[in-house]
A and B are shown apart, each in its own frame.
Chain A
Amino acid sequence: QKEVEQNSGPLSVPEGAIASLNCTYSDRGSQSFFWYRQYSGKSPELIMFIYSNGDKEDGRFTAQLNKASQYVSLLIRDSQPSDSATYLCAVKTDYKLSFGAGTTVTVRA
């Protein structure tokens, strides 16, 4: 079992809709959870992080964490064409981050 698994995608959503991205992790000791966005040919950039169970909102992005279910998600509200990218889930355990393979999102106008 991979340490971090994401829904495989690709995910296509119409402009203005909500994009929902899911991530599960295997290590119950994981402490912090991150979402990165990566445009084609570019390096990952941090969108947001979450440590505690529940929701965390930042602009159009909401991260949700459920440690009991070992599940973290990212919602993108009012999706824009500029949100078209690959989204990486990362989980911190001990000294390192483990990354999922990513979910590619396409927002169609």
Chain B
Amino acid sequence: DVKVTQSSRYLVKRTGEKVFLECVQDMDHENMFWYRQDPGLGLRLIYFSYDVKMKEKGDIPEGYSVSREKKERFSLILESASTNQTSMYLCASSPPRVGYEQYFGPGTRLTVT
């Protein structure tokens, strides 16, 4: 089974702090993704990566950056956390097959106060 893990289930940070969210997958998938999920807005893509050191902006990249130094690890960085970044953050990975089905980690619920 595909296993995607995220570093924290719950995180509380203060406004202005730098926040790192880590994601690791163990299936040698090329593609990795970061989403946020908010009530009524569904899942929105922040960034994705299709190879080591490669990254592409998703639909809502503002206020975020990412890092992918190793194939199995994809980090989301909030340079200066703000209260409107309070959300559930979900990491996903997928193989490069045509299907592109994505497998999700358990999520990190981030609260910025």
Q: Which A residues lie at the B interface, using CB under 8 A?
A: 31-32, 34, 42-46, 49, 51, 88, 90, 92, 95-102
CA distance A104 to B103 in the complex (A): 21
Number of interface residues of B (CB under 8 A): 21
10 A-B pairs whose Cβ atoms sit less than 8 Å apart in the complex? A32-B101, A42-B106, A45-B104, A46-B103, A49-B101, A90-B102, A92-B99, A92-B100, A96-B45, A97-B100
Q: Say whether B105 contacts A43, CB under 8 Å.
A: yes
> Which secondary structure dominates where chain B touches chain A?
loop
* Nearest CB on B from A71, distance (A): 19
Given A43-B104, A95-B50, output 15 extra A-B contacts at Cβ < 8 Å: A31-B98, A32-B99, A32-B100, A32-B101, A42-B106, A43-B90, A43-B105, A43-B107, A44-B43, A44-B90, A88-B43, A95-B48, A96-B45, A101-B41, A101-B42
Knowing A43-B105, A43-B106, A43-B107, the reply to whether A88 touches B42 (Cβ < 8 A) is: yes
Residues of A within 8 A of B100 (CB): 32, 92, 97
Q: Which B residues lie at the A interface, using CB under 8 A?
A: 33, 40-43, 45, 48, 50, 56, 58, 90, 98-107
Residues of A within 8 A of B42 (CB): 88, 99-102
* Nearest CB on B from A15, distance (A): 27
Residues of A within 8 A of B106 (CB): 42-43
